[in-house]
Amino acid sequence: MSEATLERGINALKEQIDAPVASFFSSCVSCGMCAEACLFYTETGDPKYTPIYKLEPLRRVWEQEYTLFGKVKKALGLHKPVTDEMLEEWQELLYDSCTMCARCSMICPVGNDIAYMIRKTREGMVASGNAPEGVKGASVRAVTIGSPMGVKLNALEAQIRHIEADSGLKIPVDVEGADYMALLSSMEIMNFPEYLEGLAKIFKQAGVSWTLCSTAFEATNSGIQIGSSDIARTLVQRVVDGAERLKVKYVISPECGHAYTAIRWEGPNLIGRPFPFRVVHILELLDELRAAGRIKTKDLETDTHTFHDPCSLVRKGGVIDEPRRLMDMVTSNFVDMKDRGKLAWCCGGGGGVSSNEDADELRIKAFKRKRDQIAETGADVLVTACANCRLVIEEGLEEYNIEMPIVGLSEMIADHLVVDDEPEEAEK
């Protein structure tokens, strides 16, 4: 990255102001409804956490540079310039107290996409040197090492050896011509390796031709989280290069909400061309296998289970019905949360918040909303489909002294899978 300065930051903010941003600022009626949609406001009552207020640096640049009223104020010396001090103060609002979950965008009565503008404002924060150290470190590791947690290929290979030795399953790597290339998040590699074992078990049973890629196994895109299109583009290109080298037809996004939106929706725009492959979330693929009768389950759970919707998966990705059909494959006692699907409440750790140590105290306060939402269901077990959500919720429940099992949906499918003695041959 270039040297960060205030001038570069302001120029980056100017570059981010496009027609949608100008339209959104012009349309805002200052109703404050976005505040009631944001768990950082509802759980603290502090008006500074009102989503539209977090955009003040971008709004000032828009007004001063692109509106007649702002230019007149600037000419008369009545404007309030964006300063380093202001950006330093706004770091908490733009990173600690926003997961870019887009619930505020969903609620806004005039359709302003506030999360879209938060993402753009973070570009100015990065260029000016005002991004949090924790998120900066994760981004540097993602580019230089290949993973925001510093997970290298040899660590993945070690996990593969353990899984293969324990299960007798085969984890294919760098298989040219496979149909599917599976991505993983660092958390799944180090914290939840049962996810990878579950994939191997399910794909073997369903006869899915798949592989991991030794040069592109990481799905997490820290560039999206910190707000740097340059970093985001580099990480997407790495996946595209790996998929093209192996000549796969599909790339599977793992149980990670933002990774899915980063590679599927932002990816082609970042690299400036369509992908020669299709991107699917693992839950979409599992639902397709279910519908085709290629996977079946048995011995359904009878305890009450509920499902946490990862924001990027449901609100930005539209993967809403698939997990519910899959939940019916693993439990006979599923209860949905009151605010489900598009209106789901965030766990409080997305958008880079969980990798930002400065945000820990506020994140735990904000988690009260999810804690109460889970409690309302009376469920015994929580299921989700995002490794980051899973870890954040585990930490939150522990903080509030609540004992509750939290399980990934893919591994639940694997645990209840009907395994034939002679599975079908893998298709290519």
**DSSP string for 76-107:** TT------HHHHHHHHIIIIIT-----HHHHH
Contact at 8 Å (CB) between 228 and 282? no
Q: What percent of the chain has pLDDT over 70?
A: 98
Instruction: State the CB neighbour count (10 A cutoff) for residue 249.
Output: 15
Distance in angstroms (rounded) separating the CA atoms of residues 8 and 163 = 47
Contact at 8 Å (CB) between 28 and 124? no
Contact at 8 Å (CB) between 28 and 112? yes
The chain-wide mean pLDDT, for the chain, equals 95
- Average pLDDT, stretch 235-251? 98
- Average pLDDT, stretch 64-69? 95
Q: How high is the pLDDT of residue 79? A: 87
Measured between alpha carbons, how far is residue 93 from residues 37, 56, 300, 358, 404 in Å? 15, 10, 44, 11, 31
Ramachandran bin of 338, using left for φ above 0, alpha for ψ from -120 to 50, beta for the remaining angles: alpha
Strand order in the sheet with 305-308: 305-308, 381-384, 406-408
Measured between alpha carbons, how far is residue 41 from residues 33, 277, 366 in Å? 11, 41, 8
Quick check: 425 pLDDT over 90? no
Quick check: 427 pLDDT over 90? no
Q: How high is the pLDDT of residue 87? A: 97
Quick check: 15 pLDDT over 70? yes
Q: Annotate 307-333 with b (16+ C-beta within 10 A) or e (fewer).
A: bbbbbbbbbbbebeebbeebbebbbee
**Whether the model pTM is above 0.85:** yes
Reading the block at residue 342, the tokens are: 């598009």
| Predicted confidence (pLDDT) per residue in 152-191, tens digit | 999 999 999 999 999 999 999 999 999 999 999 998 999 9
Strand order in the sheet with 250-253: 210-211, 180-182, 250-253, 278-281
Distance in angstroms (rounded) separating the CA atoms of residues 117 and 125 = 13
Instruction: State the CB neighbour count (10 A cutoff) for residue 30.
Output: 8
| Predicted confidence (pLDDT) per residue in 92-130, tens digit | 999 999 999 999 999 999 999 999 999 999 999 999 999
Quick check: 335 pLDDT over 80? yes
Residue 222 CA, distance from chain mean position: 10
- Average pLDDT, stretch 384-388? 94
Instruction: State the CB neighbour count (10 A cutoff) for residue 109.
Output: 10
Helix (H) or strand (E) holding 381: strand 381-384
Q: How high is the pLDDT of residue 40? A: 98
Angle between helices 19-27 and 114-128 (to 10 degrees): 120
Quick check: 378 pLDDT over 50? yes
Distance in angstroms (rounded) separating the CA atoms of residues 103 and 355 = 21
Distance in angstroms (rounded) separating the CA atoms of residues 391 and 13 = 33
Quick check: 424 pLDDT over 80? no
Per-residue pLDDT band for 84 (boundaries 50, 70, 90) equals very high
Place of tokens 């399980």: 407
Q: Among candidates 319, 330, 295, which has minimal Cα distance to 203? A: 295
Reading the block at residue 108, the tokens are: 């806004």
Contact at 8 Å (CB) between 319 and 349? no
Residues in contact with 110: Cβ distance below 8 Å, sequence separation at least 6, in sequence order: 27, 28, 29
Size of the chain in residues: 428
- Average pLDDT, stretch 413-428? 74
Quick check: 428 pLDDT over 90? no
Distance in angstroms (rounded) separating the CA atoms of residues 41 and 348 = 12
User: Maximum CA pair distance of the chain?
Assistant: 81
| Predicted confidence (pLDDT) per residue in 275-311, tens digit | 999 999 999 999 999 999 999 999 999 999 999 999 9
Helix (H) or strand (E) holding 180: strand 180-182
| Predicted confidence (pLDDT) per residue in 26-48, tens digit | 999 999 999 999 999 999 999 99
**Domains in the chain with CATH codes:** 6-131 (1.10.1060), 137-292 (3.40.50), 305-416 (no CATH)
Quick check: 65 pLDDT over 50? yes
| Predicted confidence (pLDDT) per residue in 402-411, tens digit | 999 999 999 9
Residue 318 CA, distance from chain mean position: 13
In DSSP notation, 228-287 reads: -HHHHHHHHHHHHHHHHHHT-SEEEE-S-HHHHHIIIIIHHHHHTS--SSEEEEHHHHHH
Angle between helices 229-246 and 133-144 (to 10 degrees): 30
